[in-house]
Structure 1
């Protein structure tokens, strides 16, 4: 039974009856105390030094134990427990996290692997010591504010005097009561550069840099504030036509979790893979083997869409300042850290100046005391007071140049000088010491008067001493959104019952339509002229007498529907052509005028805008003279789906026959390459590559000496070492000058691609071989700049017409030797003029899904 804080509630109650206890006050006080404790003492780092309490106590303990040698982590953890009122497991885990960031702790043993997710060995098996960087920037007991430890037995730092934006370099994450923090890690060198810019009054921008590398889009980073979002992708490349290789992974994942997500996506049928190999050691290497016939480019996009190969991180900048949580952006964190570093440097200089001045003061007193033999004045004094007074009197004539008054403590120190030191006193050396101290004092005063310049030099020194090997790991790129419906593997079969009006994946006894996925939409047309788009399901009623069903592609302007319908039960017949680009799901649309009894007479779906020719046959009614004629759909303009259409006949139509299959009425499309996202597009972004028909291809040449052609699929991926991307003209030669590693000479070759479906290497495979220049001009010209050879005159630059120099040969030919002289470098000049008849094709900026090219669709006749 709990005693109540209200005695009136306990009066006149039997002994065996429980009392009523008011706990509202307890909740109010205890919960707030607990929440404050978790926020301030456990989860959120302080802005002054970037440490949470457990991290600060670990670093303090390591300094206590530091003797330059490694200490067992278990020993460090035990020592930290003198300051930290929690268990050893939490301390050990926090220490491993610091050690894995490879900045403050020099580790030895198995500390785990952030790439694979392997945990560290037990703390009794691993060792640690402070890194040189930590000893340089984290500690200075003279400018450290101290407080009693939790049990009052020892002193611990309130904050460590960290003179570096450590919180931004390491990042930090924590979940408290009612709030959380997630500060992403940033690049060491970029932080120093930003600090220097801030000190110079310049603007700066800092972006995260992750230890797992990867590719990141920081468009919506929002300076690390609440509401920001960072998209991070694994680095995936194509090893060969059936293998992908993942070499870098997103922050917050590891190879195990990444592989698990890929396997789950494969099990769900969203992607299709053959097997996965994890060869990760010091570097990530995950091989994803694909079945035959699966597109590597589409699989890369599918990995981004359905697995942990793309993750999203939401930063939240929350720190502790003056024992209160503070929400600020990373730019402000850097400014405050840099300004704090300046103040710490100032305090350090002021302390150093005081120490130097104190040394100078006593060195000067010592010289006066010995040089003027003042120590002899105390020989006859019998009392201590007399000794002090005698020395003070002896010093007075000589201390006018001193920087402060002589105190009794100074005189006491003089009396402690040993006779041996007095007897060996060297006036010249004493003066040299004083002069050296004068120089040091002047230097410190100069630094104090030029504090910003001193701070800039300090940061520059840190960058020079510790910046090597800390270059940016994460590639900054703007991502193009992946359309999941275009890259998902269609692993489900779609069926239709045309008469009853059902579509779905469970109607296995009915007509097979095609493959689909569980995230697809399907479009359905019925004989009555109705249209509906609905999501794939096991069984869905859409309307009786279905005439066409297919997977629906949003914003598809290339698929054109040709339709002839009767308006009403006895009305005229109309023809229309239209595209369906966007609709409301599960809404029924009427493609006729809506008159009762309207019905479709002819329908065809044409994925590339084909326009066929049909024969119209009328019924013999009255004195109709013309009962049969041809209708060419290419004469019908493409309009909106709600349009009425063109009149075919006022008289009853007997039947419609397909006379001739049509060709596409859509014009070649323009394709651009956006170098920012390194993707193709039809939206006018980036560099125009040309106008493409269905059979046209792209030419790709890489710096590594590989050449290939591909269809211009919007899902295609491009390597970073790509040097040529253009529309491929099969008869146009490719000219290249390369250095042949084995022969140690430059060679020229010209070739055309014979096998458009094969990636081939056109330089030799020797380790030292490399591509110098490559050109797709008809008449390229190169300039050779010769090197100076000892004992010979400098040879003038030579221009070489590559078309005259060598004829077109096979892609595997060695080529002709360019020169035997020493070459400094080779330049590609403007080509010679060349006239060629171009294909005269009009262009249109319409969207196109390359996967839909050259597909046939049979019309529906009634």
Structure 2
């Protein structure tokens, strides 16, 4: 019996456990479906995402309302403002304080006092008890109007807070904003104050417009793929880097979203990893950014600039994502739509304000007219005999009726009550003329407001123009818009490792230090390998990689390189005919073997060269002696062969066995001269047809560069070259073409003219003195340059000078000939005089393309 009871109890216990387990599972499911969704909705709507109506998140809106509540024109302690805001905001003081600092650092809505941190260095603001704030004049003008504000109860029901502030400006786009919610995020980039106003005016006028971001940190931005700030877009932002001297770079502006600290840290990490090579970094940032980067000896500043963009936070990508709250829902739209909605909202608010103002003026006019009737017609005497309140109201109403036909609305009991409240002293001192003047002035004001309402678009345009005039003077665009060239990391990386090869055993890598040295490399480089069996392979540079035995050529692989041409002779199979081919390798799949022969087993490479500029050598072919063969030797010039794809079989050399291939002589490049353009937008050379054509260049041609500081040099044109901002001449260099300069010599305080040619190519030289007052006026490369001299004295006529007749060609270090003893106001460059080349120069002239004209800045 006891066992049955125990079994029954155990059974009931198990059933109870099962029921509890089922109830628990059901409860968790309900929590997930209801509580989590409630939490997600709360985070999205009440914390992380700004409203499109006023551009504020709830905490920001409550901060602004708190500052308005306490506004008396003086600064308030931020701690006091935070405490007051906690009446509206159901979260901690730290979140409110941080949000207020972020608003203040955008320098638009809050007038700050004290240490509010630094967006450039990343320094935090002082504690809330030490810093002060008040609303800016701009905020007071565009953010608040209790008459047009819709209110709701605060979280505890004790106060009223605005549902949305009546902001009459595209605040969201001006400040930007970002937040992470549950399941979505938002990242709206800031835009320029004046550009937003201009775009809003264009919207009101029905014109098209474009908007691009602008950052307080300055820098350079490429907005090619901005995509109107919507999902899928991207902007690239770069620091402004300049060359201070040959061994020093300076960063004056940083990308949005970075600080000088994070920027320097990224540079040091890149240096530690060997991507760049620097000696020292100095951070002299105070009010403005100044980061000095001292380069190690022998390091190219131009290449380092590109490397900084490629491997550090000096160049970053930002993916905007415009998510806003509209009609209590998150919506993904573009910045153009945000601005259109904001502009229309501003138009609506201005209309409401005008309508409210019109109603108030009409009420003033109505009561002023009633008051005049009441006093002028002595209706107040009609109530002397009345003993009841109803009698008083009736008597006044009866007395007014004959005189109120011109009023705009009926007289109400409330109007009559107000008339009874007029004091005897006011009645006794009533002036009919002043009353008429008041009514007339109100009628004028009513007419003005009605005119504004009838011409609401024009009124809104003038409103935006007044904002720009008042507050836009100190808000220029800070971020320069450019188009960036893609930087290939392999072209700018610092190659601080060494690549070795064991040709016989077939290993390549950086750890094979006892084997043959190939080249300096980096860990991001690819290595191209050719083997004796005619197989080619590209693999990543590593410590040790097996690529196959009998390596005949190994090098760092350059992707998309069409100018490196490979010349190859091979035997097809063990006893087949021999072929020759020329090809390039532009793109391959890494670690895949490519057979460059006809594919038969036993094929072998007889001759192979890699030519960086498409050179074509001459080789001698010698056959094995066979019965009936009369010609066993002959020469072959690879320049007679057309460059084809790497998979081509090639041209037949001979069907007989080859004894040996002998190198005869090196050839010249068979590639066409390369056309090079200069794109002024990005200050870079390119071969894509962007910008101005500088000419066609062979491997021997150079560029001539002269700067306003008086420096001149020739360089081999490279697409990675950086140009100085004060460049005044950029052209294809003709060694026989003289260079003419007019300059003011600081030490002698006189103007001089000199003409010279460059005797030492590839060396930068100064062709004017280093005196601080020395200033270059004109530098030209015309054969017969012509200038006009304007004198300080008005009685002296302008002087036109042919520089070729004025002075002969001298050395680059020569002082030159003095221009004149009279004081000069300025020197103007005129159109060059006609020039006929000498017989010995005609050939040189014909070699110069008509497109090779000098570029003058």
Choose from 385, 408, 411 the match for 1:406: 411
Q: Secondary structure at the match of 1:471?
A: coil
Give the superposition deviation at 1:275. Answer: 1.4
How far apart, in 2, do the equivalents of 1:752 and 1:280 lie?
A: 43
How far apart, in 2, do the equivalents of 1:231 and 1:527 lie?
A: 46
Choose from 142, 149, 173 the match for 1:144: 149
2:503: which partner in 1? 498
Choose from 567, 573, 588 the match for 2:572: 567
C-alpha distance 652-824 of structure 1, shift in aligned 2 (>3 A): closer
Q: State which drifts further: 405-414 or 563-572.
A: 563-572
Deviations 1:409-463 (A, max 9, x none): 2222222222222233222222222221111111111000000000000000000
C-alpha distance 125-425 of structure 1, shift in aligned 2 (>3 A): same
Q: State which drifts further: 534-543 or 387-396.
A: 387-396
2:249: which partner in 1? 244
Give the superposition deviation at 1:267. Answer: 1.1
C-alpha distance 548-140 of structure 1, shift in aligned 2 (>3 A): same
Q: Secondary structure at the match of 1:197?
A: helix
Give the superposition deviation at 1:527. Answer: 1.6
How far apart, in 2, do the equivalents of 1:625 and 1:15 lie?
A: 107
C-alpha distance 136-769 of structure 1, shift in aligned 2 (>3 A): farther
1:394: which partner in 2? 399
2:158 maps to 1:158: no
Choose from 463, 468, 486 the match for 1:463: 468
What runs of 5+ residues in structure 2 fail to find an aligned partner? 1-9, 852-857
How far apart, in 2, do the equivalents of 1:95 and 1:538 lie?
A: 53
2:815: which partner in 1? 813
Choose from 305, 330, 338 the match for 2:335: 330
How far apart, in 2, do the equivalents of 1:60 and 1:415 lie?
A: 39
Give the superposition deviation at 1:820. Answer: 4.0
2:430: which partner in 1? 425
Give the structure-2-normalised TM-score: 0.91
Give the superposition deviation at 1:706. Answer: 4.4
What runs of 5+ residues in structure 1 fail to find an aligned partner? 1-9, 846-862
1:832: which partner in 2? 834
How far apart, in 2, do the equivalents of 1:92 and 1:814 lie?
A: 67
1:4: which partner in 2? none
Deviations 1:155-214 (A, max 9, x none): 111110000000000001011111111111001000000000000010111111111111
Q: State which drifts further: 518-527 or 447-456.
A: 518-527
2:175 maps to 1:167: no
Choose from 529, 532, 535 the match for 1:530: 535
Give the superposition deviation at 1:321. Answer: 1.1
TM alignment of 1:15-164, pairs within 5 A: 17=17, 19-20=20-21, 21=24, 22-23=26-27, 24-164=29-169
Q: What count of residue pairs does the alignment treat as equivalent?
A: 831
Q: Secondary structure at the match of 1:659?
A: strand
1:854: which partner in 2? none
Q: State which drifts further: 338-347 or 567-576.
A: 567-576
Q: State which drifts further: 465-474 or 811-820.
A: 811-820
2:804 maps to 1:803: yes
TM alignment of 1:244-283, pairs within 5 A: 244-283=249-288
1:752/1:811 contact within 8 Å kept:
no
Deviations 1:533-566 (A, max 9, x none): 2222222222211111111112222222222323
Q: Secondary structure at the match of 1:335?
A: helix
How far apart, in 2, do the equivalents of 1:26 and 1:232 lie?
A: 44
1:694: which partner in 2? 699
How far apart, in 2, do the equivalents of 1:842 and 1:654 lie?
A: 46
Q: State which drifts further: 676-685 or 336-345.
A: 676-685
Deviations 1:337-378 (A, max 9, x none): 000000100000111111111112222222222233333333
2:793/2:823 contact within 8 Å kept:
no
Deviations 1:91-132 (A, max 9, x none): 001000000000000011111111111111111111100000
1:503/1:540 contact within 8 Å kept:
yes
How far apart, in 1, do the equivalents of 2:745 and 2:373 lie?
A: 80
2:515: which partner in 1? 510
2:193 maps to 1:188: yes
Choose from 463, 482, 486 the match for 1:477: 482
2:729: which partner in 1? 724
1:853: which partner in 2? none
Q: Secondary structure at the match of 1:220?
A: coil
Give the superposition deviation at 1:675. Answer: 2.7
How far apart, in 2, do the equivalents of 1:164 and 1:695 lie?
A: 60
1:522/1:536 contact within 8 Å kept:
yes
C-alpha distance 757-661 of structure 1, shift in aligned 2 (>3 A): closer
Give the superposition deviation at 1:238. Answer: 1.1
Q: State which drifts further: 589-598 or 521-530.
A: 589-598
1:310: which partner in 2? 315
2:387 maps to 1:382: yes
1:215/1:235 contact within 8 Å kept:
yes
C-alpha distance 661-164 of structure 1, shift in aligned 2 (>3 A): same
How far apart, in 2, do the equivalents of 1:745 and 1:439 lie?
A: 69
Q: Secondary structure at the match of 1:31?
A: helix
C-alpha distance 409-298 of structure 1, shift in aligned 2 (>3 A): same
Deviations 1:309-356 (A, max 9, x none): 111111111111111111111001000100000010000011111111
1:669/1:692 contact within 8 Å kept:
yes
C-alpha distance 561-84 of structure 1, shift in aligned 2 (>3 A): same
TM alignment of 1:426-465, pairs within 5 A: 426-465=431-470
How far apart, in 2, do the equivalents of 1:727 and 1:602 lie?
A: 38
How far apart, in 2, do the equivalents of 1:425 and 1:510 lie?
A: 114
Give the superposition deviation at 1:627. Answer: 4.1
Choose from 335, 339, 346 the match for 2:344: 339
2:5: which partner in 1? none
C-alpha distance 334-830 of structure 1, shift in aligned 2 (>3 A): farther
2:789/2:824 contact within 8 Å kept:
no
How far apart, in 2, do the equivalents of 1:741 and 1:177 lie?
A: 68
Deviations 1:10-56 (A, max 9, x none): 99547985822212222111111111110110001111100000000
1:575/1:647 contact within 8 Å kept:
yes
Q: State which drifts further: 50-59 or 560-569.
A: 560-569
1:779/1:832 contact within 8 Å kept:
yes
Q: State which drifts further: 495-504 or 572-581.
A: 572-581
How far apart, in 2, do the equivalents of 1:564 and 1:783 lie?
A: 65
Deviations 1:211-249 (A, max 9, x none): 111111111111111111111111111111111111111
C-alpha distance 11-255 of structure 1, shift in aligned 2 (>3 A): farther
Give the superposition deviation at 1:753. Answer: 4.2
C-alpha distance 168-831 of structure 1, shift in aligned 2 (>3 A): farther
2:690: which partner in 1? 685
2:644: which partner in 1? 639
1:668/1:841 contact within 8 Å kept:
no
1:753/1:811 contact within 8 Å kept:
no
How far apart, in 1, do the equivalents of 2:46 and 2:713 lie?
A: 60
How far apart, in 1, do the equivalents of 2:217 and 2:670 lie?
A: 50
How far apart, in 2, do the equivalents of 1:363 and 1:516 lie?
A: 91
1:416: which partner in 2? 421
2:196 maps to 1:176: no
Give the superposition deviation at 1:819. Answer: 8.1
Give the superposition deviation at 1:307. Answer: 1.1
2:750/2:818 contact within 8 Å kept:
no
C-alpha distance 704-157 of structure 1, shift in aligned 2 (>3 A): farther
1:218: which partner in 2? 223
